[in-house]
Structure 1
Amino acid sequence: MKMNLSFFALVFLLFFIHSSSAAKCQTSDRSALLQFKNTFVSDPSCSGSPPMVASWGETDDCCSWDGVECSNQTGNVIGLNLAGGCLYGSIDSNNSLFRLVHLQTLILADNNFNLSPIPSGIGQLSDLRQLDLGNSRFFGPIPSAISRLSKLENLRFSRVNISSAVPDFLANMSSLMSLSLGDCELNGNFPQKIFHLPNLQLLIIPYNPNLSGTFPEFNFNSSLQRIWVEQSSFHGEIPSSIENLKSLTSLKLGNCSFSGTVPDSLGNITGLQELELHLNNFSGRIPSSLERLTEMNRVFLSYNEFSDATLSWVGKQKKLVFLGLSGIRLGGTLMPSLGNLTNIEQLLLGENELTGEIPSWIGNFAMLTDLHLYGNKLTGSIPKSLSQLTNLKHLYLQYNYLNGTVELSMFLKLENLTELHLTANDLAVIDDQVGSQNVTLPKFNLLGLGSCNLTHIPTFLENQNELEVLELGQNNIQGQIPKWMWSMSRESLKVLNLSHNALTGVEEPRDALPWVNLYVLDLSNNKLRESLPILPAICKLSSLVALDLSSNLMSGVLPHCIGNFSSLDIMNFRQNLLHGTVPDSFRIGSKLRFLDFSQNQLEGQVPRSLANCKILEIIDLSDNQFTDGFPYWIGTLPMLRLLILRSNHFHGKIEEPETNTEFPMLRIVDFSYNNFSGNLPLRYITNSKGMETFNTTASTYRNTFVTFSFDYVWALEFFYSTTITIKGNQRDYSRIQEVFTSIDLSSNKFEGEISNVVENLQGLQSLNLSHNMLTGPIPPSMKNMARLESLDLSHNQLSGQIPQQLSQLNFLAIFNVSYNNLSGPIPLGNQFNNVDNSSYIGNVGLCGDPLSKKCGDLKPPSSDSDEGEDEGSFHIGWKTVLIGYGCGMLVGMIGGNFILARKQDWFAKTFKIQMLKSWEDSR
Structure 2
Amino acid sequence: MAKRWLPLANLVFLLLLFTHSHSATHPADVAALRDIKNSLTDITSAAQFFSTWDFSSAADADPCSSFAGVTCSASRVTILTLGTGLSDSPGLAGTLPAAIARLAALTQLILFAGIVTGPIPPELAALRRLRVISLAGNRLTGAIPPEILRLPALHTLDLSRNRLSGAVPPPLAAAPQLKILVLAGNRLTGEFPGDLPPQLLHLDLSSNLLTGELPAKLPAALRYLSAANNRLRGSLSGSALDPLSDLAYVDLSMNELSGPVPGPLLRRGVTSLLLQRNNFSGGLPESPPWEAVAGSTVDLSHNFLSGEVTAALAGVETLFLNNNRLSGGVAAEYAASVAAGTMKTLYLQHNYLTGFPLGVGSALPEAAAVCVSYNCMAAPPLGLAACPDSAGEQLSRPAYQCNGFHNSLD
Q: TM-score per shorter chain, which class?
A: 0.7 to 0.9
Partners of 2:356 and 2:223 in 1: how far apart?
40
SS in 2 for 1:614: coil
Highest RCO, 1 vs 2 (Cα 8 Å, sep ≥ 6): 2
Identity of aligned residues (%): 23
Find 1:471's aligned residue among 99, 107, 110.
110
Equivalent pair of 1:574/1:600 in contact (CA under 8 Å): yes
Deviation of 1:529 (Å): 1.0
Partners of 1:596 and 1:482 in 2: how far apart?
27
Give 1:294's aligned residue: none
Change (3 A) 1:769 1:469: same
Give 2:261's aligned residue: 630
Equivalent pair of 1:640/1:663 in contact (CA under 8 Å): no
Partners of 1:419 and 1:644 in 2: how far apart?
47
2:154 corresponds to 1:518? yes
Give 1:445's aligned residue: 78
2:96 corresponds to 1:457? yes
Partners of 1:457 and 1:652 in 2: how far apart?
50
Give 2:40's aligned residue: none
Find 1:647's aligned residue among 257, 277, 281.
277
Instruction: Please tell me the root mean square deviation across aligned C-alpha atoms, in Å.
Output: 3.7
Change (3 A) 1:843 1:647: closer
Equivalent pair of 2:106/2:130 in contact (CA under 8 Å): yes
Equivalent pair of 1:652/1:676 in contact (CA under 8 Å): yes
Give 1:496's aligned residue: 133
SS in 2 for 1:608: coil
Give 2:210's aligned residue: 578
Structure 1 residues 469-528: Cα deviation after superposition (integer angstroms, max 9, x where no partner) = 1001313221212232222x12x1100011111111248x54673411111000100111
Q: Which runs of structure 2 are paired with 1:688-703 in the superposition (5 Å)?
A: 688=315, 691=316
Give 2:53's aligned residue: 408
Find 1:754's aligned residue among 330, 335, 351.
330
Give 1:615's aligned residue: 246
Q: Which runs of structure 2 are paired with 1:80-479 in the superposition (5 Å)?
A: 369=21, 403=48, 405-406=50-51, 408-410=53-55, 417=64, 422=69, 443-450=76-83, 452-479=91-118
Question: What stretches of structure 1 of length at least 5 have no aligned partner?
Answer: 1-342, 347-365, 370-388, 394-400, 424-440, 692-740, 807-811, 820-837, 846-923
Change (3 A) 1:793 1:842: closer
Partners of 2:388 and 2:104 in 1: how far apart?
61
SS in 1 for 2:225: strand
Structure 1 residues 143-198: Cα deviation after superposition (integer angstroms, max 9, x where no partner) = xxxxxxxxxxxxxxxxxxxxxxxxxxxxxxxxxxxxxxxxxxxxxxxxxxxxxxxx
Change (3 A) 1:559 1:663: farther
Equivalent pair of 1:421/1:446 in contact (CA under 8 Å): no
Partners of 1:789 and 1:753 in 2: how far apart?
20
Give 1:742's aligned residue: 318
Give 1:74's aligned residue: none
Partners of 2:361 and 2:265 in 1: how far apart?
28
Give 1:356's aligned residue: none
Find 1:558's aligned residue among 192, 196, 199.
192
Equivalent pair of 1:764/1:785 in contact (CA under 8 Å): no
Change (3 A) 1:418 1:776: same
Equivalent pair of 2:374/2:397 in contact (CA under 8 Å): no
Q: Which runs of structure 2 are paired with 1:781-800 in the superposition (5 Å)?
A: 783=362, 785-786=364-365, 788-800=367-379
SS in 2 for 1:547: strand
Equivalent pair of 1:767/1:790 in contact (CA under 8 Å): yes
Partners of 1:635 and 1:467 in 2: how far apart?
43
Change (3 A) 1:818 1:447: closer
SS in 2 for 1:592: coil
Find 1:684's aligned residue among 289, 305, 312.
312
Deviation of 1:457 (Å): 1.1
Partners of 1:611 and 1:663 in 2: how far apart?
20
Equivalent pair of 2:122/2:148 in contact (CA under 8 Å): no
Find 1:767's aligned residue among 346, 349, 356.
346
Partners of 1:818 and 1:415 in 2: how far apart?
58
Partners of 1:799 and 1:817 in 2: how far apart?
21
Give 1:302's aligned residue: none
Q: Which runs of structure 2 are paired with 1:801-816 in the superposition (5 Å)?
A: 802=381, 814-815=386-387
Q: Which runs of structure 2 are paired with 1:12-27 in the superposition (5 Å)?
A: none
Structure 1 residues 888-918: Cα deviation after superposition (integer angstroms, max 9, x where no partner) = xxxxxxxxxxxxxxxxxxxxxxxxxxxxxxx
Find 1:602's aligned residue among 221, 232, 240.
232
Partners of 1:569 and 1:605 in 2: how far apart?
23
Deviation of 1:586 (Å): 2.2
Equivalent pair of 1:367/1:391 in contact (CA under 8 Å): no
SS in 1 for 2:203: strand
Change (3 A) 1:756 1:789: same
Partners of 1:583 and 1:512 in 2: how far apart?
23
Give 2:38's aligned residue: none
Partners of 2:390 and 2:359 in 1: how far apart?
18
2:133 corresponds to 1:505? no
Structure 1 residues 614-662: Cα deviation after superposition (integer angstroms, max 9, x where no partner) = 12111111000011211001124x42111111011111112321x4566
Aligned residues between the structures: 350
Change (3 A) 1:484 1:655: closer
Q: Which runs of structure 2 are paired with 1:35-46 in the superposition (5 Å)?
A: none
Equivalent pair of 1:778/1:801 in contact (CA under 8 Å): no
One-letter amino acid of the structure 2 residue matched with residue 471 of structure 1 = I
Partners of 1:844 and 1:586 in 2: how far apart?
46
Equivalent pair of 1:499/1:522 in contact (CA under 8 Å): yes
Deviation of 1:540 (Å): 1.2
Partners of 1:405 and 1:421 in 2: how far apart?
7
SS in 2 for 1:647: coil
Give 1:673's aligned residue: 302
SS in 1 for 2:327: strand
Give 2:166's aligned residue: 530
2:145 corresponds to 1:549? no
Partners of 1:455 and 1:781 in 2: how far apart?
66
One-letter amino acid of the structure 2 residue matched with residue 449 of structure 1 = L
Structure 1 residues 77-121: Cα deviation after superposition (integer angstroms, max 9, x where no partner) = xxxxxxxxxxxxxxxxxxxxxxxxxxxxxxxxxxxxxxxxxxxxx
Change (3 A) 1:818 1:616: closer
One-letter amino acid of the structure 2 residue matched with residue 674 of structure 1 = N
Deviation of 1:784 (Å): 6.1
One-letter amino acid of the structure 1 residue matched with residue 300 of structure 2 = F
Equivalent pair of 1:794/1:818 in contact (CA under 8 Å): no
Partners of 1:764 and 1:496 in 2: how far apart?
40
SS in 2 for 1:760: helix
Partners of 1:535 and 1:418 in 2: how far apart?
38
Partners of 1:547 and 1:782 in 2: how far apart?
52
